[in-house]
Amino acid sequence: MGGAFSLLLWVLQVPILHTVFCFVPAEPEVRQLAATYFRILIWGSPAVLGLYSLVGWFLGMQRAKLPMTIAIVQNVVNILASLFLVCVLGWKVEGVALGTLLAQYAGLLLALWLWRTRFERPEPTLHTWRTLLRDRASFVAFFQVNRDIFLRTLCLIAVTVSFTSFGSAQGELTLAANTLLMQFFLLFSYIMDGFAYAGEALGGRYYGARDTLRFARLHRSLLLWGSALALLFTLGYGFGGSVLLRLLTDEVSVIALASHYLSLICAVPFIGFAAFLYDGLYIGTTSTRYMLLTMVLATLLFFGLYALLPPANTSLWLAFLTYLGCRSLVQALYYPKVKQTVAHHNQ
């Protein structure tokens, strides 16, 4: 399936690029650099999709150290290759793209090697394939879950791309400031993704065992640790946000504008942390329909609120906070239904 999607991306790379530029206007020089970067990295789609599959397998088997090892190796290869290609060979944006491309395939090769050496792989027989093909219910459930996650991801991309587009429409300075501020959100989201992966793996185990007691304990533990980290990030951004901005750039005008919105950024961790945790629990229990419905509602709120508010960057961030808050709140309301499925599935 990953190979089919990769082939589709290769075939559609030109219309994809044109579509992106329609939604995110840019100067001709920026468009040319972005197009060069995209045309090189698109060839890494098989590696990226294949690695997603293997990382999902490792997490499902509760071997979280393996994805961490892969990520470390990938980043080291990316840094070293990019430095050599850019600083030594002078390849500029092409060098950065090729360095990333090499890192993607290095990560895939390492993941394949770990899969072959760390896990027992019984040889599939003709009887095994026949049994799998006859189990239509499992196939239907598999594609339903993938459909829900795919549509949810489309909503996520729509919000992310539109956020950038709406910001760029307010000028290059606003776009630069928002790009910096988004690093605050991304830093927090990377940490919370670890909790989401734990929710997927452990939630899936307790779902399979119909262990509602441990599932409820997992839910409480995730919320407890998630809220503690959210508070830590909120305080860190509140007291150290200006320092972090100065580490990211030395442009005084960009820092000044970004500092104006730091109070809104401080609200992101506490408003949005639950969304990551529930995403993990819902994927682990295959309750992806609730996750999709929540994401659709949150996406509609984002676009609707931004359309109603005055066209300003504050409005954009308020719409984004509403989007995160909706995901957290609505999924929390769905949780009792998800908990019931843990006890009653396949009965």
Helices (H) and strands (E) in the chain, counts: 14, 0
pLDDT category, 272, cuts 50, 70, 90?
very high
Residue 321 phi, psi (nearest 5): -65, -40
pLDDT category, 321, cuts 50, 70, 90?
very high
One-letter identity of residue 19: T
Q: Which residues of 216-251 are buried (b: 16+ CB within 10 A; e: fewer)?
A: eebbeebbeebeebbeebbebbeeebeebbeebeee
DSSP 309: S
pLDDT at position 128 is 60
Q: Are 169 and 247 in contact (CB under 8 A)?
A: no
Find the mean pLDDT for residues 174-201: 86
User: Taking Cα atoms as reference points, which of 296, 346, 280 lies closest to residue 148?
Assistant: 296
Tell me the chain's radius of gyration from C-alpha atoms. 22
Find the mean pLDDT for residues 131-157: 76
Mean pLDDT of all residues belonging to the chain:
83
304-to-163, 298, 330 alpha-carbon distances in Å:
13, 10, 17
Model confidence pTM above 0.75: yes
DSSP string for 136-194: HHHHHHHHHHHHHHHHHHHHHHHHHHHHHHHHHTT-HHHHHHHHHHHHHHHHHHHHHHH
- Top-confidence range, 35-39, 283-287, 328-332: 328-332
Q: Does 296 have pLDDT greater than 90?
A: yes
Q: Which residue has the higher pLDDT, 126 or 53?
A: 53
Range of lowest pLDDT (258-272, 283-297, 315-329, 332-346): 332-346
Find the mean pLDDT for residues 328-345: 87
Residue 310 phi, psi (nearest 5): -60, 145
Q: Does 208 have pLDDT greater than 70?
A: yes
pLDDT category, 97, cuts 50, 70, 90?
confident
At 37-93, the pLDDT tens digits run 777 877 887 888 788 888 877 876 767 778 878 888 888 888 888 888 878 787 878
CA 145 to chain centre: 17
Distance CA 279, CA 324 (A): 12
Share of the chain above pLDDT 90, in %: 24
Q: Which residue has the higher pLDDT, 15 or 278?
A: 278
pLDDT at position 303 is 95
DSSP string for 190-217: HHHHHHHHHHHHHHHHHHHHT-HHHHHH
pLDDT at position 54 is 83
